[in-house]
Structure 1
Amino acid sequence: MRMQRDTSLLLIVDLQVGLMPVLEAGEQAVEEASWMGGVAEALGVPVWLTEQYPEGLGESVPSLVSSLARPRTWRKTHFDAHTESGFARALADTGRRQIVLCGAEAHICVLQTGLSLLAAGYHVAWLTEAMSSRRLEEATLARRRIERAGAQAVSADMVAYEWLERCDDARFKDIHRRFLKERASRPLRFA
């Protein structure tokens, strides 16, 4: 299934200050989520953030928040964001059925949220280079598990170009200038 900007939502799970010191490739996950968030906002795709128990783990990483103009932030205590009070109803109300999912920890909150979204009938795209866990092996295992459950592993470039659809309009030129050119030489780790 191709990603469509009119039916997509970017969900960034728990990239929080208190988790960053223990995450493998956490900085890359934040950079990639920020980049994807910028592209999403430029194309009118909603961006949602979750924060797991921010009183203990801190709020979302400041560089992520400052890179986004208008994210919706959900504070949660459930590992699975979809079970948090009001979340499922608000998501259904958007009418968006394709969820681009990323964040931390891939094998806990991201995985549980993704599995719940799949069970609710959403199409889940696992944004590989914006996933992080304490150990890379756990993020890789989470990816395998969610793919078996029906999610698709994608890269940020795949999503961006599918959302863009074509190169002959002003949106492509603006996004290419602002976002796409910088990615060409950046090495990435995929979970």
Structure 2
Amino acid sequence: MLMSAAKSTLVLVDFQERLIPAIDDAESVVERALTLAELAQLMEVPIIGTAQSPDKLGATIDRIHQHCQQTLHKNTFDACESGLLNALEDRRTHVVIGGCEAHICVLQTAMGLLDAGFRVWVVADAVGSRLPANRELALQRLHQQGADIVSTEMVAFEWLGRADHPQFRNALAQIK
């Protein structure tokens, strides 16, 4: 199944001040997440951020935070247990996820969404962990559990759907 912009929500998990410096290849992960956020804005896809224990891990980094319509503060690893399900619009059953750490909060949030009946796409180039092996294990497990593992460009072109989409040139500029 292809994802639809009209049915999608972008969830950006725990891009926080004190966590990001510890993430392997953090700058690339953040850049891909920013690209996703900019694409989501072009395509009118809502963006929800999460922040794990912000008193300990700091606020969401500003470059990400400024794109989020709302940010859920949580102490649970699965954001679904901290209000994410209530924040999602009823007609938006496709959830696209980027974030940190892949094997903890991204994995548990994606599993919670799958359990709740959502279609889930995890954007491999927009997720990270401290150790690359943990990221890879998380992506494998998520795939086995029914999440689609995709890239930022795959999201862009599936949301667009066609070359004559009114936002095609603007989206293309974001991913190049």
Q: Structure 2: how far apart are the matches of 1:30 and 1:95?
A: 28
Q: Structure 2: how far apart are the matches of 1:144 and 1:90?
A: 27
Residue 82 of structure 1 is aligned with which of 80, 95, 104?
Answer: 80
- Please name the residue that 2:71 is paired with: 73
The residue type paired with residue 85 of structure 2 is A
TM-score (norm 1): 0.88
The residue type paired with residue 33 of structure 1 is A
- Please name the residue that 1:119 is paired with: 115
What percentage of aligned pairs have identical amino acids?
37
Q: Structure 1: how far apart are the matches of 2:37 and 2:91?
A: 19
> Are the equivalent residues in 2 in contact too, given 1:31–1:64 (CA < 8 A)?
no
Matched, 1:62 2:59: no
Q: Which runs of 5+ in 2 are unaligned?
A: none
The residue type paired with residue 83 of structure 1 is E
- Runs of 4+ in structure 1 off by over 3 angstroms are none
Q: Structure 1: how far apart are the matches of 2:12 and 2:172?
A: 23
Q: Deviations over 1:56-77 (max 9, x none)?
A: 10011122234x2x53111111
- Please name the residue that 1:189 is paired with: none
TM-score (norm 2): 0.95
> Are the equivalent residues in 1 in contact too, given 2:156–2:171 (CA < 8 A)?
no
Q: Which runs of 5+ in 1 are unaligned?
A: 183-191
- Please name the residue that 1:151 is paired with: 147
Q: Structure 2: how far apart are the matches of 1:174 and 1:131?
A: 24
> Are the equivalent residues in 1 in contact too, given 2:103–2:137 (CA < 8 A)?
yes
